[in-house]
Structure 1
Amino acid sequence: MDAGQLQQLFDQQAGQYDQQWQRLRPLQSALFFLVEQCLQQLPKQARLLCVGVGTGEELLYLAERFPHWQFTAVEPAAAMLERCRQKAQAAGVLQRCDLVQGYLDDLPATASFDAATAFLVSHFLTEPQQRLAFFQQIARRLKPAALLLNADLACAEPALTMQAQISFWQQLMTGQQPDAAKLVQLMQSYRQDVAVSEPSELQWLLRQAGFAQVLPLFQAGLMQAWCAQRGATELA
């Protein structure tokens, strides 16, 4: 699935996106709690970059808990970003947000952010070099020693456990285990449309992109998260 198809898909899903993920709210709450702890030491006037912000769940959570932070949110799907804007306005935090429809390339490549989030974004880049370039672009926009909180779909020993993991993940999202025909369809989709990497591969990509320290933070089903610290030196 190319970038244009993904953008169209998320535009179509924007109105129901939050409802679709409602069953996974407990996992989201646990992840956001851990993210909050990682970011406690940021400056009072910190600037946060939210990559692929979607409808803005992490932005709203952090804006409520850190009332002096400024946020730059990047999202290619216009309908998703509009939903984020509406929610930020309703929460009274829109004045602290710069919402950018587009990609990281649409931001200045300067190290100006104290931290970044990228939740369930990079696994849509199915080629390792694309994914590496994505993390490199984030690293270039972070100050030295700044943090990236990243979550993606990942599975250890995917050839052996992928089917069972996908079946369980589908049960988490829908409340029902997929039947045999549905599982075959899901397996094909996960192989073609997303990169469900081994955790060690994703950690290696983060280090190659300029993150000197990569701390495993959270795991639930197929979703795994890391707290990665950008190297202390300037990047080329």
Structure 2
Amino acid sequence: MAKDFTSQRVVDGYDQHIRQLIPGYEVVHQQIKALLKTYMPYKAHLLIVGCGTGYELGYLLQAFPNWQFTAIDVSSTMLDKAKTFIHALGEDQRVNFVLGDISHLNDDVYFDAVLSILVTHFIPFEQKYNFLLATQKKLKQDGIFITFDLTQIITQNEKETLKHLCEINGLTPEQTAVMLKRLDHDFFPLSEERTYQLLRNVGFKDINRFTQILCYQGFIAQ
């Protein structure tokens, strides 16, 4: 059964659970912050797709005091959690929160960067092209798209390795069994080759993988 991101219990436990579930979660976010420091202008407007509880948004607000952010999520429970977190930081005025998907954004607003972290693998295969095209169309001419997601798992050994690493991170054997079952039913992971192909097909020209941790890979596209 897919995670219910409208459940208050699931949302409240998300930040702890995701660190056990995703190898190198903190390191990935450190890399994203470094990429943004490299590619972004002094003043920038970023779109965060699937902002979740606001963790990502929070550290970016603190790291880049001259930037503006738009944060969207399809879960009202997640969005409310993010709003509460950002309000506690005193940064409400720099964030536009939107309940929904990219289609709910104003047509005349474009972004210096779009971040889709642990989101694209939830998009069904037949919808991925339109999703990625929508992100590309919301970028300014020199804007960048950063994505980090589960990619296609080919062998049983890859599954076993992921299982062992998640247990090292603190998941119980019972939790890893649930995780592996969810991988087969709730996710729509692309291969590395297919990821490059889709990003090229929607109009990105310069595409590079910036990180890989087992079966999770991150890409930056311009």
TM-score per shorter chain, which class?
0.7 to 0.9
**Which digits, 9 at most, give the CA deviation of each residue in 1:66-102, with x for residues without a partner?**
1010000010101111110111111121110000011
2:132 matched residue in structure 1:
135
1:11 matched residue in structure 2:
6
| Alignment partners' CA distance in 1, 2:183 and 2:134 | 25
Aligned letter for 1:15? D
| Alignment partners' CA distance in 2, 1:169 and 1:123 | 20
Q: CA deviation at 1:199?
A: 1.5
> Which piece of structure 1 moves more, 89-98 or 219-228?
219-228
TM-align CA RMSD:
2.5
Shift >3 Å, 4+ stretches: 22-26, 159-162, 172-179, 185-188
1:224 matched residue in structure 2:
217
Under a length normalisation based on structure 2, what TM-score does the superposition of the two structures give? 0.87
Structure 1 residues 196 and 31 mapped into 2: Cα distance closer, same or farther (>3 Å)? same
Is structure 2 residue 182 aligned with structure 1 residue 189? yes
| Alignment partners' CA distance in 2, 1:87 and 1:166 | 31
Unmatched segments (≥5 aa) in structure 2: none
| Alignment partners' CA distance in 1, 2:204 and 2:165 | 29
1:232 matched residue in structure 2:
none
2:203 matched residue in structure 1:
210
1:1-236 to 2 correspondences below 5 Å: 9-12=4-7, 13-23=10-20, 27-40=24-37, 41-110=39-108, 112-127=110-125, 129-155=126-152, 158-159=154-155, 161-168=157-164, 170-177=166-173, 183=177, 186-229=179-222
**Identical counterparts, % of pairs:** 27
Q: CA deviation at 1:144?
A: 1.2
| Alignment partners' CA distance in 1, 2:6 and 2:89 | 22
Q: CA deviation at 1:193?
A: 1.0
Task: Give the 3-state SS of the residue equivalent to 2:217 in structure 1.
Answer: strand
| Alignment partners' CA distance in 2, 1:169 and 1:98 | 37
Structure 1 residues 37 and 82 mapped into 2: Cα distance closer, same or farther (>3 Å)? same
Structure 1 residues 119 and 91 mapped into 2: Cα distance closer, same or farther (>3 Å)? same
Unmatched segments (≥5 aa) in structure 1: 230-236
Aligned pair count reads 219
Structure 1 residues 199 and 72 mapped into 2: Cα distance closer, same or farther (>3 Å)? same
Under a length normalisation based on structure 1, what TM-score does the superposition of the two structures give? 0.83
| Alignment partners' CA distance in 1, 2:22 and 2:165 | 14
For the 8 Å contact 2:158–2:215, the answer to whether it is kept is: no
Aligned letter for 1:198? S
> Which piece of structure 1 moves more, 25-34 or 108-117?
25-34
For the 8 Å contact 1:152–1:225, the answer to whether it is kept is: yes
Aligned letter for 1:147? I
For the 8 Å contact 1:14–1:55, the answer to whether it is kept is: yes
